[in-house]
Chain A
Amino acid sequence: DSGVTQTPKHLITATGQRVTLRCSPRSGDLSVYWYQQSLDQGLQFLIQYYNGEERAKGNILERFSAQQFPDLHSELNLSSLELGDSALYFCASSVGGQGNDQPQHFGDGTRLSIL
């Protein structure tokens, strides 16, 4: 058990809808990272937050947004969903946040299926 908690485990919705994925980092970790895993693209970094502020941005679509709250949990919001958004979404956390050279510990992901 990595100590990173993601909810829900599975999410099924339709095109055009909006969903929110939630992540609680390991106790003591200040950074949260979001990744998307799909068969064709592999594991892709989306965005990082450190202590409530955006720290790094990767291949995140404009339809996607994230935030980190004062209690350090994070939410990833996906809107105007398309079939191609079907994927596994992982959250990871680390202690520090200056860069991405800190050991990152992953949750077990949310599987998003768009029908």
Chain B
Amino acid sequence: GENVEQHPSTLSVQEGDSAVIKCTYSDSASNYFPWYKQELGKGPQLIIDIRSNVGEKKDQRIAVTLNKTAKHFSLHITETQPEDSAVYFCAAYGGGADGLTFGKGTHLIIQP
């Protein structure tokens, strides 16, 4: 089955700087890659997603890039703000009767 590795597990950046979280996947048939933000006591919130026929997608301060050849995708957050502090999860969908496979999460800390 699919395996998703996520790095780093913790990321601390100064407010206003950029943050990058990276994920790799194992199944070359995977075609859908969502990113979720989870705040304490809440469920994961979908913030952006990308499909395998697209290399990059942007939504305001958030962007995701996908490299199908290398089987990795990344989340980029620019001009970070205190409210960006949360745990971020990447996921991959390999098709068929499988569900989403999630990475272990990245705890993003925005330092004032």
Please list the residues of chain A having a beta carbon within 8 angstroms of any beta carbon in chain B. Answer: 2, 4, 33, 35, 42-48, 55-58, 90, 92, 99-101, 103-109
Determine whether the beta carbon of B34 is less than 8 Å from that of A104. yes
Please list the residues of chain B having a beta carbon within 8 angstroms of any beta carbon in chain A. Answer: 31-32, 34, 36, 41-46, 49, 51, 89, 91, 93, 95-105
User: Chain B residues near A44 (CB, 8 Å)?
Assistant: 102
Determine whether the beta carbon of A101 is less than 8 Å from that of B98. no
Determine whether the beta carbon of A57 is less than 8 Å from that of B97. yes
**B73 CB to closest chain A CB, in angstroms?**
14
Separation of A44 and B100 alpha carbons in the complex (Å): 8
**B42 CB to closest chain A CB, in angstroms?**
5
Given contacts A90-B44, A99-B93, 18 further A-B contacts (CB under 8 A): A2-B43, A35-B99, A44-B102, A45-B99, A56-B97, A99-B96, A100-B32, A100-B98, A100-B99, A101-B51, A101-B95, A103-B34, A104-B34, A104-B46, A106-B36, A106-B46, A108-B42, A109-B43
Determine whether the beta carbon of B97 is less than 8 Å from that of A55. yes
Separation of A101 and B45 alpha carbons in the complex (Å): 16
Interface residues of chain A: helix, strand, loop or mixed (majority): strand
A2 contact from B45, B100, B104, Cβ within 8 A: B45
Q: Can you list 26 A-B pairs with a CB-CB distance of less than 8 A?
A: A2-B43, A33-B99, A35-B99, A42-B102, A42-B105, A43-B89, A43-B91, A44-B102, A45-B99, A45-B100, A45-B101, A46-B99, A57-B97, A58-B98, A58-B99, A99-B93, A99-B95, A100-B32, A100-B93, A101-B31, A103-B34, A106-B45, A107-B43, A108-B42, A108-B43, A109-B43
User: Chain B residues near A104 (CB, 8 Å)?
Assistant: 34, 46, 100
User: Chain B residues near A99 (CB, 8 Å)?
Assistant: 93, 95-96
**A60 CB to closest chain B CB, in angstroms?**
10
Most chain B beta-carbon contacts within 10 A, residue among A2, A100, A105, A109:
A100
Separation of A47 and B96 alpha carbons in the complex (Å): 13
Separation of A108 and B39 alpha carbons in the complex (Å): 10
User: Chain A residues near B102 (CB, 8 Å)?
Assistant: 42-44
User: Chain A residues near B43 (CB, 8 Å)?
Assistant: 2, 4, 90, 92, 106-109
